[in-house]
Chains A and B, each alone.
Chain A
Amino acid sequence: MKAWYAMLGIWMSAVIYEAFALPEIRGLVGHPIAYFHPPIAIVTFIAFLVAMIHGLRYLRWNDPIHDVKSSKAAEVGLLFCFLATVTGAMWSKANWGTFWSWDPKQTSIFVVLLIYAAYFSLRSSTPNPDRRHRLCAVYTVIGFISAVLLMFILPRIGFSLHPNDAMMGGGSDRPVRLLFWASVLGFSGVFAWMMELAVKLALMEMKIKEMSQ
């Protein structure tokens, strides 16, 4: 396990170094953040997908361990979501001149932030544990589906400033694309690592509570 963490550290350092070293991307300003913001946004969605999968597993198996995993994925996801919103605003300022422009993607990430913030107020206001696990698991499903709906609907009724395929698709140079996906992979690794730590911690807390009873 230690070797994995070391590799993750080296990988992320390399990504960060390259992000500052690579030349500008065509048509985009403020480029180093281009290698952080979109990957963070993508990992946000991965995190909430993981939360939903564990939520569904809870509903299927009724095992509290899935609730722990689901809620911790949502917790780390919320942190990534917050980072995505902030880095998005910074990039927006550099690129379009304003921090906020209600661009569909900006709106989406903000609403996703609201959805998962609501998830935690639901958690804290349901004292009965069986109920809390069950309702929260269902909400991760509703939350994820409505986030997907949002991404699907908003661009179709509004307008977009977002450089959709600037980096992922064929419009960019090979090193740019490579670094972009390396960054996505790196941030996914960071997410997995943080989630694992959070789950471990929660399980330890549960054990301590059990022993002190």
Chain B
Amino acid sequence: MSTSLTVTNLCKQFEHRVVLRNVSFSVANGHALVVTGPNGSGKTTLMRILSGLMLPTSGAASLEIDGTVVDFDERRREVGFVTPEVHVYPELTPVENLKFFHTVRGLEWDEAEAAHWLRRVGLDARRDDPVGNFSSGMKQRVKLICALAHHPSLLLLDEPGANLDERGRESLSGMVEIQRKRGMTIIATNDPKELTLGDEIVALRA
């Protein structure tokens, strides 16, 4: 299966404020791309557009799988998105969160796989605790596995290292490695340690 993401002349404007101007790049299967830029350069806006949460003012970001463009309804199975503004359900436990997102995506639920993911990020001891009681680093791990467990073709990570300790960062880079075998990764960050996760860097100007 070959997947690709092509971004052409992407512009985003809020009323009269221009946030993104003519952004173009493309990512191929098995590659990871890092997007950097100062605060206010539109990293988060770009990620939201790529995820499908936001429409561009002009231009296009098309995700293609085997030559066919993925529409929004398909995207919910093909995209995984981690960003500081989007959260998992605090009243639910990590397992319940995983199960919920899996079911609404229309996928079969597998208990063993959930246990595998929880072990991976070191949360199996807290599997029956509501996520609301977790520390911010642990919440970040739950968000990561909720974005990864359905094996997305496109993984979008907006400041993924935020709140993570050394071990968390290690499992993060492990996940990016796994994602390379399955599809594409785009990481928006200014953290020098995370720049090395990608093979290419796109720099946005403010």
Contact = CB atoms under 8 A, between A and B. Distances in A.
Interface of A: 62, 128-130, 209-210, 213
Residue among A62, A130, A209 with most chain B CB within 10 A: A130
B15 interface: yes
B16 A130 contact: no
In order of increasing CB-CB distance, the 6 nearest A-B pairs are A213-B16, A210-B16, A129-B15, A209-B16, A129-B14, A62-B55
Interface in B29-79: 54-55
Interface string B1-31: 0000000000000111100000000000000
Nearest to A210: B16
A204 to B, nearest CB: 15
Contacts of B17: 213
A19 B149 CA distance: 74
Nearest to B15: A129
A12 B42 CA distance: 55
Given A62-B55, A209-B16, A213-B17, 7 more contacts: A128-B14, A129-B14, A129-B15, A130-B54, A130-B55, A210-B16, A213-B16
Contacts of A210: 16
B42 to A, nearest CB: 16
User: Which secondary structure characterizes the binding site on chain B?
Assistant: loop
Contacts of A62: 55
A62 B55 CA distance: 10
Interface in B108-138: none
A71 to B, nearest CB: 15
Interface in B163-202: none
B48 to A, nearest CB: 12
Contacts of A130: 54-55
A213 B16 CA distance: 7
Contacts of B16: 209-210, 213
Contacts of B14: 128-129
Contacts of A213: 16-17
A63 to B, nearest CB: 11
Nearest to A64: B15
A30 B95 CA distance: 73
Nearest to A129: B15
A209 B15 CA distance: 9
Contacts of A128: 14
A134 to B, nearest CB: 10
Nearest to B16: A213
B166 to A, nearest CB: 38
A129 B14 CA distance: 7
B21 to A, nearest CB: 14
Contacts of A129: 14-15
B130 to A, nearest CB: 30
A128 B15 CA distance: 9
A62 B57 CA distance: 10
Contacts of B15: 129, 209
Contacts of B54: 130
B11 to A, nearest CB: 14
A210 B15 CA distance: 9
A128 B16 CA distance: 12
11 contacts: A62-B55, A128-B14, A129-B14, A129-B15, A130-B54, A130-B55, A209-B15, A209-B16, A210-B16, A213-B16, A213-B17
Nearest to A212: B16
A209 B54 CA distance: 24
A108 to B, nearest CB: 37
